[in-house]
């Protein structure tokens, strides 16, 4: 009972500490993630061990009644508190499996084709240079074991641009720079996961005393990768069998999302996906397989051969932030401050300089040989420095798995560096993006700033529909018939899911149903004129007979806003009351 009480206390303290740290950090503009890590650190047992050891040396403090009471608490419950934190590290494996599975969404064949050869070249150059340089420095200069150096090098590859993309959205930066960075980061993470899984697997074999020769090593690594792929395939088929599509209810025209097996993003679907991924990770860990490969393979198969709603269920707004917070709190609480020394400080500085320099030079050289424009070459390298997320997860994983083989030293080297990269990277990224935005602004001055409604000319269709759902399905079929989309079911379900949140009717007989999807690489709009109006939940209560269906790529949300702005402006300019102005709009669009 006593242990359980301390478990509950530890969870509460971690959550409160990380939340408070994140709130303060956001107000100071240094990054919520960094604040959560620091909050966890201040709540963690290692920080309070330092405080206790310092206070115990002060006679003035030890003689006080308060210290004696705190000393009693420290000796009777504090070690249990530290043990609870230590045993919570299972969450790291669980959480990293989910992240790796989500990464599989980016491995859709069409997405890989769109990446192109130039981003691939840039990514490979900076990733390999970073790995080689970090590995050599820690192996030769710092005398780390070669395999541990290779692990540190693989972690160094990872880039976490979440903060950069937040800044991009804040500054409304779109276009080539954003797309190029997104493609490079996706490939970066894939390369990093493969390198990390292989080298960590080798390190585990060495730790267990397995005899290693070149032939035996190659056989063991290949065997583990093949078995990991097979487990990933098994997870995919379980999801394929379990998560099945549901039709539209003919009576009320609403998709049945209440079903446990519905393909729409939902909390039920979240439980199914997380459950299978966790089981797959546990199987892989039991047989000493690279569980990250298991998760990535399962995710890649789902991305190409099943519903993307499976990934969307992992993005539910009220769930992932909570998991993120607890994870980063756990990272902070696990930082063993008492092991910091001038020696580890040198390692931290080495990691900072070598990774930062390699990322910058590798990206710059990649841009140079792929003949990127000057502004891209100057800007992109400065956006590759932030590092948290995946690197933080893998670092605590190494500390847990290689606890007696240098794992803690790796942890105490990388975690402080992540804080510097995240804070310094935020400052440098913001300056770079402001400079880029000013360049784009001067370059585009005098050009057309917004879409006009005439840009939709050509995608016009007159049709019949019995209700809103039928109208959306008909327009989706029209897009598929023109070869614009492939997965009709995916698109129509995504649009109908958006309609359930709130009606997309504008009033005056106009509606703009829409969705974002990986099915298209540019925003497409088709306009349908209904022979008979249908109910759409319009704010003015009038039925709809003009429907603009907008399909936008996931990575270009601003394009949708431009289309909608053009449509709304036209609706305002035209009264659209009665047949005369409807005919006028039809004439504008038909051309």
What residues contact residue 271 under an 8 Å CB cut-off, 6+ apart?
none
What residues contact residue 127 under an 8 Å CB cut-off, 6+ apart?
157, 187, 188, 191, 192, 362
Q: Using CA atoms, how far apart are residues 153 and 142, in angstroms rounded to an integer?
A: 13
Please name which of 196, 181, 193 lies closest in space to residue 363, comparing C-alpha atoms: 181
Q: Residues for the chain: how many in total?
A: 591
Q: Using CA atoms, how far apart are residues 351 and 130, in angstroms rounded to an integer?
A: 10
Instruction: For residue 108, indicate whether it is catalytic.
Output: no
Which entry of 308, 493, 514, 582 is annotated as an active-site residue?
514
Please name which of 225, 240, 366, 227 lies closest in space to residue 299, comparing C-alpha atoms: 240
Q: Using CA atoms, how far apart are residues 538 and 55, in angstroms rounded to an integer?
A: 68
**Residue the block writes with tokens 């899984």:** 197
Task: Check: CB of residue 192 under 8 Å from CB of residue 157.
Answer: yes
Q: Is 169 helix (H, G, I), strand (E, B) or coil?
A: helix
What residues contact residue 200 under an 8 Å CB cut-off, 6+ apart?
151, 290, 397, 398, 401, 402
Q: Using CA atoms, how far apart are residues 217 and 205, in angstroms rounded to an integer?
A: 9
Q: Which residues pair with 510 in a beta bridge?
A: 507, 546
Q: Using CA atoms, how far apart are residues 458 and 439, in angstroms rounded to an integer?
A: 34
Please name which of 35, 62, 34 lies closest in space to residue 417, comparing C-alpha atoms: 34
508 Rama class: left (phi>0) / alpha (psi -120 to 50) / beta? left
> Residue 525: phi, psi to the nearest 5?
-130, 130
Q: Is 244 helix (H, G, I), strand (E, B) or coil?
A: coil
Write the DSSP symbol of residue 586: H
Question: What DSSP assignment string belongs to 467-485?
Answer: SHHHHHHHHHHHHHHTTS-
Q: Which residues pair with 348 in a beta bridge?
A: none
Please name which of 109, 154, 113, 162 lies closest in space to residue 131, comparing C-alpha atoms: 154
- Residues marked as catalytic: 514
């Amino acid at each position: 009972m006593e242990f359980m009480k301390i478990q509950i206390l530890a969870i509460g303290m971690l959550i409160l500490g990380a939340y408070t740290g994140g709130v303060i950090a956001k107000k100071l503009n240094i990054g919520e993630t960094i604040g959560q890590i620091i909050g966890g650190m201040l709540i963690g047992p290692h920080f309070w061990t330092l405080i206790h050891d310092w206070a115990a040396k002060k006679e003035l403090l030890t003689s006080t009644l308060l210290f004696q009471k705190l000393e009693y608490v420290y000796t009777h419950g504090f070690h249990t508190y530290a043990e609870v934190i230590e045993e919570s590290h299972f969450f790291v494996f669980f959480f990293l499996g989910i992240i790796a599975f989500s990464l599989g969404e980016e491995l859709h064949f069409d997405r890989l084709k769109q990446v192109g050869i130039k981003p691939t070249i840039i990514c490979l150059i900076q990733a390999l240079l970073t790995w080689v340089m970090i590995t050599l420095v820690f192996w030769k200069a710092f005398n780390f074991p070669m395999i541990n150096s290779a692990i540190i090098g693989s972690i160094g590859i990872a880039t976490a641009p979440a903060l950069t993309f937040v800044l991009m959205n804040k500054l409304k930066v779109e276009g080539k720079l954003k797309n190029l960075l997104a493609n490079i980061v996706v490939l970066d993470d894939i390369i990093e996961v493969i390198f990390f899984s292989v080298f960590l697997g080798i390190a585990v074999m060495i730790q267990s005393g397995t005899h290693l020769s070149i032939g035996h090593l190659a056989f063991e690594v290949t065997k583990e990768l093949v078995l990991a792929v097979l487990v990933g395939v098994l997870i995919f088929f379980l999801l394929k069998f379990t998560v099945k599509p549901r039709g539209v209810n003919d009576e009320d025209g609403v998709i049945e999302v209440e079903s446990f097996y519905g393909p729409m993003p939902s909390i039920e679907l979240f439980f199914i996906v997380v459950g299978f991924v966790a089981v797959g990770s546990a199987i892989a860990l039991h047989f000493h397989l690279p569980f990250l490969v298991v998760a990535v393979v399962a995710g890649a198969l789902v991305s190409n051969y099943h519903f993307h709603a499976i990934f969307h269920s992992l993005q539910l707004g009220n769930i992932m932030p909570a998991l993120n917070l607890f994870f980063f709190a756990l990272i902070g609480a696990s930082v063993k401050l008492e092991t910091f020394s001038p020696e580890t400080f040198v390692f931290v500085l080495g990691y900072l300089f070598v990774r930062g320099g390699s990322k910058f030079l590798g990206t710059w050289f990649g841009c140079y040989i792929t003949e990127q424009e000057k502004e891209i070459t100057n800007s992109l390298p400065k956006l590759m420095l932030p590092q948290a997320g995946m690197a933080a997860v893998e670092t605590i994983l190494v500390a847990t798995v290689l606890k007696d083989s240098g794992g803690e030293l790796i942890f105490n080297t990388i975690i402080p560096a992540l804080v510097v990269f995240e804070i310094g990277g935020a400052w440098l990224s913001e300056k770079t993006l402001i400079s880029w935005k000013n360049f784009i602004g001067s370059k585009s001055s005098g050009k057309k700033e917004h879409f006009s409604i005439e840009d939709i000319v050509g995608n016009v269709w007159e049709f019949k529909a019995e209700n809103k759902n039928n109208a959306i399905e008909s327009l989706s079929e029209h897009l598929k018939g023109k070869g614009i989309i492939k997965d009709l079911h995916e698109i129509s379900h995504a649009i109908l899911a958006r309609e359930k949140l709130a009606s997309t009717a504008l009033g005056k007989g106009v509606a703009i149903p829409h969705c974002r999807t990986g099915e298209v690489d540019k925003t497409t709009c088709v306009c349908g004129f209904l022979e008979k109006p249908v109910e759409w939940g319009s704010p003015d209560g009038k039925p709809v007979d003009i429907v603009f269906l907008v399909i936008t790529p996931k990575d270009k949300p601003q394009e949708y806003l431009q289309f909608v702005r053009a449509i709304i402006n036209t609706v305002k300019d035209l009264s659209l009351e009665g047949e005369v102005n409807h005919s006028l709009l039809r004439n504008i669009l038909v051309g």
